[in-house]
Structure 1
Amino acid sequence: MTLSSAYALSRDDADALAGARHGDPFRVLGPHDTPEGRVIRAFLPGASAVEVLRRADRASIATLPQRGETGLFEGLVADKAPYLLRITWPGAVQETEDPYSFGELLGDLDLHLFSEGRHFELASTMGANVRTMEGVEGVGFAVWAPNASRVAVVGDFNAWDSRRHPMRLRYPAGVWELFVPRLAPGARYKFDIIGPGGVRQPQKADPLAQQAEPSPATASVVASPRAHRWHDEGWMQSRAERQAVDRPISIYEVHLGSWMRPDGSVSWETAAKRLIPYVVDMGFTHLELLPVAEYPFGGSWGYQPLGLFAPTGRYGSPQDFAQFVDRLHAAGIGLIVDWVPAHFPTDPHGLARFDGTALYEHLDPREGFHHDWNTYIYNFGRREVQGFLIASALHWLERFHVDGLRVDAVASMLYRDYSRKPGEWIPNIYGGREHLEAIDFLRHLNAVVKERCPGAITIAEESTAWPGVTRSEKELGLGFFYKWNMGWMHDTLLYMERDPVYRSYHHNELTFGLLYGFSEKFILPLSHDEVVHGKGSLFGKMPGDRWRKFANLRAYFGFMWTHPGKKLLFMGGEIAQEREWSHDREIDWFLLDNPDHAGIQRLVRDLNNLYRNESALHVRDSDPSGFRWIVGDDRSNSVFAYFRQGNDDQAPLLVVCNMTPTPRHHYRIGVPRPGVWREILNTDSRHYGGSDMGNGGGVRAAPLAWQGEGQSVELTLPPLATLVLRAEG
C-alpha cells in the first residue's frame, strides 16, 4: 500500500527530526492510525532499509520506504499487531521493538508525587531503570527538564547521536520519558537537551543515575536491577539501640582513596579486607566515609557531588558498595556517610543550568552561588528540589543500609548571609537572615528519615550557635540526632597549640565547652578539616620538642575520650601522623615502626575500649548529671579534674588532666567514696611511650574532707598526662 501525501510526514516535521530539534516525537514517530490505515514511521539515520515484522511470529507485514536520504522511513501497515523493526545497517542487521510504539512510562501518581516533592522512591521511577513493558525488556529513561523544548537520550546504544532517541514530555510535570527496548545494564548514556530559545546545552549526566563511569569520565551508566541479598537483619534490628544517645559512639573518619593503597589502587573489596578489620581492632563503633556519591573533581574529596544517587565509580560498582556495607555490619560496625545537600559544582555536564535555566539552583547569585566554594546553591523553596534531595538521602539509607548521614555545611544552609557582605544577600520574606526554605527542608528531611528508616541517624555539621539543632521538629528544632561540636574542637585545639607556660592564661578554653555541652546531643570531632589547607597534623599542632608533642597529644586524647559527647577522629590521628593529610597519598603507616607512634595507636585503641566498657563515660553523654567538676579553677597548675557518672548505682570515674610538663606530687582531690580508687588509664604509661609516672595502679581515699567531699585522694600527676580512676568497693 502506498501512503498518500496527505498523511505523509510534513517537511517541517521531517526537518526537525533530522536537525535533532523535534520536541514531540510521539506525535510523528511510531504507529498512527489514519483514514488510509495504520502508518508506521521510524527515524533511523544511517539505515538503508526497514522491514516491519509481526512480533508474535516474526512474519514480515510491511516494508517502510525511505524518504530521500534523511533516515526517515514511513509506510502503511495492514496489521495492527505489536511489531518489530528489522533494520539494515551498513554491515549488520538489527531486530528490535520500536521505542515509539510503547505507551507512557510514568503513572499519573508518580508525576503528581514528584511535583509535590513527596516521591521518595525517585531512583526507581526516574533516571534509568531496567524494566519490562508489554513483555519486552529494556530501559526506561525519565528526566526532569520542564523548560526544555526537546530532550533526547544518547549513549553507546545509538552512537551518541542526538537525533535517534528524542523523548516524550509529560506535561505539566516537566518530565521527559522514553522506553528503549532491549537495552541492558552497563550501557553508558547522557541527556541531550535544547533549552529555551533553541539553545543546545552540553550533554548532561543523569541527576538520578544510580551508577556512573569512573572519573574522569562523566557518563551515567544503566545500573543493574539485581538487588543485593542482605545478611544484616540482626544488625538492622538492633541499630536503634546501638546508635542511641546513651550508647558509646566512637567514629573513625576516612577518606577511602587515601587511607591505604596496598598496590596503588583502592576498591570496596580491598577496603573490606583491610579497613574493616582495622576499625574493629581499634575499637571504633562506626566508620564515617567522606562523601561517596559520584563527584567529578578528586580534589574536592567528594564535597562537590553531582551524582547524589550513585556510589562513586572510583572504587567499584554499587553492588560492591552494598557488599562492603554488609560486611561492616557483620563485623559489628556502623556506617555513616557524608552527604552534601548544601551546594553542587558548576561542571557543565552536571546540574548547573540543567535545562537551560536555573532549575536546581537559584538564578540570582545572591541566593544561588557560594563564593567560598564556587558552587551553586540548591533552591530549597522548590518542591521538586526538596523531593530530589530527600529521595537521595533515603536512597543511601534504604537501598544501601547506611546507618547515618552526616549532613555537610548545615550552617551555610541556615543563613542567607552566610559568608556574604552587605548587599550580597537577599533577606527572607520577614526581612531576616534566616533561610526559611532551607530550615523547612532540613526539618522535613529529618522527619521523613525518622518515619521511614528506624534506627538511622542524621548528624549536622553546624558551626554556629543555632538553637535546637538536635531538638525534635515538634519542639521547633531541626530534628537532627547529633551535632558536631565545632566550638569544642576550635577551643580545645587552640588551647593545646599553646606552649604550656601560657596555658594558665587560657584556662577557660578547656572549660568553656561545658557551659553549653548539654544544650545539644554532641559529637566531639577531630575531623579532616583540622589537618588540611596549611593547618598541619594534630601531632604538628602540639608544642614543644618531640617528647612533649607526643605527651601533649596523649593527654589531649585522654581529655577528649573522657569528655561528655560522642567521639570522631580522622584517619592518621591515631598514629600521630606528622605530615598534613593529602588526598594524593596514603597515610604514613611506616610511622608505626617507631615506638612512640605505635604507643599513640595503642592509646587510642585502649581509650575506645575504656569508653565502650565504662558506662560512666557514655551513658549520660547528653545529660548534665553525668558530669561534675571537682577541679575546674586551678589555673596556676593547668590541672583539670572531673567526675563522670553513669547510672546512679554505678561507681563514678575520676578524670585528672595535668596540662603542663611539670609533675604534680601530693595533689589532693576530694572524692565522694571511700576505699580504693583504681588507676585504670594513665596516658603517661610507658606502654604508650610515656615516662611511666603514676600512682602504682591506684590510691586509697583518706577520711579527709576536701573540696566539699567527705573523702580525698592524694595523687601524683604525671607531666602532660590524663589519669582515669575508678572507685572500687
Structure 2
Amino acid sequence: MPSDLPSQLCEDTIKALQRGHHATPFDILGVHQEGDLIWLRVFLPQATALDALTPNAELPLQQIDAGVFVTRLPSIDTPYQLRATFEGGDIWIFEDPYRFDPVLGAFDQHLISAGTHHHLWRALGAHVLTHQGIDGTHFAVWAPNAQRVSVVGDFNSWDGRRSPMRQLGHTGVWEIFLPALDDGTLYKYEILPQNGPAFLKADPFGFGAQHPPETSSVVRDIRGYGWDDANWMAQRGKKNHRDAPISIYEVHLGSWRRKTDEGNRPLSYKELADELVNYALEMGFTHLEFLPVSEFPFDGSWGYQPVGLYAPTIRFGPPHEFRDLIEAAHKAGLGVILDWVPGHFPADAHGPALFDGSHLYEHADPREGFHQDWNTLIYNYGRTEVRNFLTANATYWLEEYHVDGLRVDAVASMLYRDYSRADGEWIPNHNGGRENYEAIEFLQDMNQTAYGEVSGIMTIAEESTAFPGVSTPVDAGGLGFGFKWNMGWMNDTLRYIEKDPIYRSYDHHLMTFPIDYSFTENFILPISHDEVVHGKGSMLQKMPGNEWERFANLRAYYGFMWGHPGKKLLFMGCEFAQWEEWNHDQALDWDALQGKNHKGMQELVRNLNQLYQATPALYQRDCDPSGFQWLCNHPEHSVSAFLRLGNPGEAPVLVACNFTPIAQTSFRIGVPQAGTWREVLNTDAVKFGGEGRHNAPALSTIDLAWDGHPQALDITLPPLATVMLQLTTD
C-alpha cells in the first residue's frame, strides 16, 4: 500500500469493509483529519471511478483496493458531492452519507436508554427530513447485539456493505441519514449478528410495508396531514365517557364490502371513508371498531398476528388514506377504535423474532416466550426497551392517526404466566404465583401514558377472567383501562338464547346472574367476530326453532342487550342477521337484505341505536348500580323485567322480555311509582318482521302492590319479544 495513503486504511480495515464486517464505518469513511492532511474516504463496490465535486474543483479519488477510494480535500469543511462511474458508463451523482452528523441527540439517546421515550417513533424508524440542508431519510433501529447493521434496498442494490450504520453510544441504536431517499422507498435492515451470516429484517418501527406476501418496509412520510376534525377532537372526551351512549360497530375492513366486478377486491380506505362511515351513521352507531390494521403477513389471522405495529396495512391504501377514513368518521360524529395486539407476534423471518440474532423482543425460554395456542411469540415485558416500544405504539396510533380508543386483545393471556399451559410448561413469578407482574406493569404504564399524553381517548380490555380492577385507575390499584368487555355476560346469555324455549325455565339464571357483576367494571357487552366464526354459526344460526322463531329470538335478544346495563358492541353482518357465519375472504351477504326479515332486523338495530342515544336512562348509568332495578323474574314463564334509570329528572325505562313462543297478555309487573307508561320499542313490531302485537299508546299503573312494588302495570308481552316502555311526564 502506498505510504502517502491514510494510515487508518490498513489491510484489515479494507477487508472488513469489503466483507461487510466493519462495525464502526463512520470512523473510517467520510472526511477525517490525520495530522495536517484532510482525507476523504469512500467505499463503493462496483464503481470503476469516483470523483469529488467541490465548489472549486473536481477531485478524482484514487482506488486503492476493490471499492475503496481516497483523495485529499482542501479543508475539513469543504462541501462536496460524489460522482461515481460504473461499468457500462452509467454515472451517479450523490451526497456522501458519511459526511453527515448524527440526527439523534443526547436527549433522545437518554430517553431511549431509560425506556421512557413516550414518542419513540419520532426517533426510531425511517423519517423523511432535511438534515444539514439536504433532503433524505433518516433510519434508526434498535439492535444492541448486532455486530453490524446496514440499510439495504434498490438504492444500493440490496448490498449490506454499502450503507452500514453508526451505533449511538450504549443505546443499542444504529442510525444513518441517506440523502435523496423519499416516500415510497423500499428498504430492510441487513443485520450481521455476533455469530453466523447476515440476514434481512423489516423495520419494527416502519410506517409502511409492502403488500403481503412481499415483506419489505416502505418509507412513508407521515408528516403534515392537515387534519380537519377539530370539532370532534374538542368534544370526543364526552363521547367516550362512561356516562355517554356508546354503541360500537365492529368491522373487518377486508370483508365488509367487496368489489366483485373488480376481482373481488376489498374497499380502499378512501372508499370506506364514504361507504362505511355513511352506513354506520345511518345505522345509529356511535363508534366504529376495526379489527387490527397494523401490518400483518397472513390474511387468515385477521390482523391479530402483526409484525408491523407502526404501519397501517397497505391492503387498503397508504397511511394518509387511512387518516382520510378516520377524519371522515370524525366529521360524521363517529369515534374510531382500533383493535391493538401487544400480547404476541408471529415468528415470520422478516419480523421482530430473533431480531439482532438474539431474543431481543421475545423471551428466550419458550415457557415464557411461546404461545402454544397461536404458535406465536410473547413480548418480554420485563425489558424496558420492549415495554417502551409497545407503550409508545399505543400513543402513536392515538396521536398520529387521531384514533379515539384502543381495544387491547387477549389481555388474559398476558396477565397469567400459566395461560393455556399445563403444569411444568410455565415459570412462576418471583413469589411463586401465576400472575405476570411484568405484563401487569406494562398494561398499567400503557394506560397511564395513553391517558396522560392524549386527551379524550378510551382504552378497552378484552379480558376473559375475573381479574380484579381491570377498569380501575392505576393509582387505585387497577390496570387503568377505561372499559372491559363483559365476556361473562356474552357467554351466559348466548348459552341461554341458544336453548330451546321449552328448557329455558331451567336456566333462567343465565340471563339474570350477570347483573350480580355488571357494575364491578365499566363493561361493554360484546357480540363480536369471535362469536360468528370457526363453526360457531352466525347469530341467526344459533337461534332455535323455525325461521320465524329464529328471527323473533334474535330480535328479542338484541332488545334485551340494548336494554341491559353496559355499552354495546355488534359485529358487522349481525345487524341484519346474516345467515352464514363470517368468512374473511368474502363480503358480507348484503343480498340477504332483499328478505323482509333481514331488512326488519336491520331496522330493529337502527331503532335500538337511535332509542339508546335519545334516552339517557338507557346509558347514563350503564356502569352504576343505581341505574338498574329488578322488577320481576319469572323462570316458569321465561320472563324478566327491570328498570333502567338515568340521572335525576330523566324518565325511567321499563324493559320486559318474554323468551317463550307463548304470548303473555295482561302480564302484571310491579313498578315503583304511579304514572303513565308509553311503549317506545317492541321487537314484535311489523316493521322489524314481527306480528305487531303492541301495547296501547299509553298504559296507566294500577294502585296495587305487586312483586314487592307499590304499583302494578299490566302489559302485553308478545311471544319471543322484548318490550320497552318509558314513564311519561304527561
Shorter-normalised TM range: over 0.9
Partner Cα distance (1:97, 1:716) in 2: 82
Q: Is the Cα–Cα contact under 8 Å of residues 149 and 190 in structure 2 kept in the other structure?
A: yes
The answer to whether the 8 A contact 2:8-2:28 is kept is no
The answer to whether the 8 A contact 1:228-1:323 is kept is no
Match of residue 686 from structure 1: 686
**Map of 1:301-312 to 2, 5 A cutoff?**
301-312=302-313
Q: Does residue 1:245 correspond to 2:245, yes or no?
A: no
| Superposed CA offset, 1:143-198 (max 9, x none) | 00000001110012111111110111113111111111121111110000011214
Give distance in 2, aligned partners of 1:121 and 1:650.
Answer: 44
CA distance in 2 between counterparts of 1:722 and 1:438 reads 42
Write the distance in 2 (CA, Å) between the matches of 1:156 and 1:446: 40
SS in 2 for 1:197: coil
**Contact 1:123 1:210 (C-alpha < 8 Å) held by counterparts:** no
C-alpha separation between the residues in 2 aligned to 1:363 and 1:105? 33
> Are 2:397 and 1:401 equivalent residues in the alignment?
no
- Please state if 1:159 is matched with 2:157: yes
Query: Distance between the aligned counterparts of 1:283 and 1:535, measured in 2?
Result: 27
Q: How far apart are 1:47 and its partner, in Å?
A: 0.9
Counterpart CA distance in 2 for 1:62 and 1:136 is: 22
Residue 641 of structure 1 pairs with residue 641 of structure 2: yes
Cross-structure match for 1:465: 466
Q: Which residue of 2 aligns with 1:667?
A: 667
| Corresponding residue of 1:78 | 74
Q: What residue is the counterpart of 2:487 in the other structure?
A: 486
Q: Name the amino acid aligned to 1:29.
A: L
C-alpha distance in structure 2 between counterparts of 1:648 and 1:319, whole Å: 45
Equivalence for 1:118? 116
Between the aligned partners of 1:260 and 1:142, the Cα distance in structure 2 is 38
CA distance in 1, matches of 2:6, 2:336: 64
Question: Which of 231, 239, 262 does residue 234 from structure 1 map onto?
Answer: 231
Q: Deviations over 1:479-517 (max 9, x none)?
A: 000000001000000001100000001010001100000
1:698–1:725 contact (8 Å) kept in structure 2: no
Query: 2:171 aligned with 1:173, yes or no?
Result: yes
> Which residue identity lines up with residue 549 of structure 2 in the other structure?
R
| Distance of 2:223 and 2:468 partners within structure 1 | 44
Count of residues in correspondence between the two structures: 723
| TM-score normalised according to structure 1 size | 0.97
2:594 counterpart of 1:593: yes
Offset, 1:3: 5.9
Q: What are the within-5 Å matches in structure 2 for residues 46-85 of structure 1?
A: 46-54=46-54, 57=55, 59-68=56-65, 70-80=66-76, 81-85=78-82
CA distance in 2, matches of 1:495, 1:328: 36
Judge which range, 34-43 or 178-187, deviates more: 34-43
Worse-superposed segment, 636-645 or 688-697: 688-697
SS in 2 for 1:141: strand
Judge which range, 258-267 or 544-553, deviates more. Answer: 258-267
The aligned runs of 1:429-578 (5 Å cut-off) are 429-578=430-579
Q: Distance in 2 between matches of 1:469 and 1:674?
A: 40
Partner of 1:722: 722
CA distance in 2: counterparts of 1:690 and 1:699, whole angstroms: 21
Kindly indicate whether the alpha-carbon contact (under 8 Å) linking 1:683 and 1:721 is maintained by their aligned counterparts in 2: yes
Deviation at 1:199, TM superposition (A): 3.3
Q: Does 1:215 align with 2:212?
A: yes
1:584 deviates by: 0.1
The gaps in structure 2 that reach 5 residues or longer are: none
- Does 2:139 correspond to 1:141? yes
CA contact (8 A) 1:673 1:727 kept: no
Determine helix, strand or coil for the equivalent of 1:17. helix
Are 2:590 and 1:581 aligned?
no
Q: Is the 8 A contact 1:304 1:340 kept in 2?
A: yes
CA contact (8 A) 2:144 2:356 kept: yes
Q: What SS does the corresponding residue of 1:256 show, helix, strand or coil?
A: coil
Structure 1 position 303, deviation (Å):
0.4
SS of the residue aligned with 2:174? strand
Q: Report Cα offsets for 1:426-453 as digits up to 9, x if no partner.
A: 1111111110011111111111111111
TM-aligned CA distance change 1:498 to 1:225, over 3 Å: closer
2:345/2:376 contact within 8 Å kept: yes
Q: What is the CA–CA distance in structure 2 between the aligned matches of 1:430 and 1:389, rounded to whole Å?
A: 26
Q: Choose from 96, 107, 112 the match for 2:105.
A: 107
**Contact residue 208 and residue 307 of structure 1 kept, 8 A:** yes
State which of 251, 254, 259 in structure 1 corresponds to 2:256: 259
Alpha-carbon deviation of 1:112?
1.3
C-alpha distance in structure 2 between counterparts of 1:296 and 1:432, whole Å: 35
After TM superposition, the structure 1 stretch with the greater mean CA deviation from structure 2, 559-568 or 702-711, is 702-711
1:419 corresponds to: 420
SS at match of 1:468: coil
SS at match of 2:201: coil
CA drift of 1:76 comes to 2.6
C-alpha separation in 2, matches of 1:238 and 1:275: 22
Relative distance call for 1:600 and 1:6 in structure 2 (3 A) is: closer
Mean alpha-carbon deviation: is it higher for 158-167 or for 516-525?
Answer: 158-167
User: Deviation at 1:5?
Assistant: 5.2
Distance 1:79 1:703 in 2: 102
Q: Which residue of 2 aligns with 1:182?
A: 180
Instruction: Quote the residue 1:344 is aligned against.
Output: 345
User: Which residue matches 2:28?
Assistant: 28
Distance in 2 between residues matched to 1:224 and 1:450, nearest whole Å? 26
Deviation, 1:238, is 0.5
- Asked whether the 8 Å contact 1:67–1:73 carries over to 2, the reply is yes
* Secondary structure of 1:179 counterpart: strand
SS at match of 2:488: helix
Give the SS at the match of 2:518.
coil
Match of 1:88 in 2: 85
What is the DSSP-based 3-state SS (H/G/I as helix, E as strand, rest coil) of the residue aligned with 1:38? strand
Equivalent residue of 2:234, what SS?
helix
Distance in 1 separating the partners of 2:8 and 2:108: 35
Amino acid at match of 1:554: R
Q: Percent identity?
A: 53
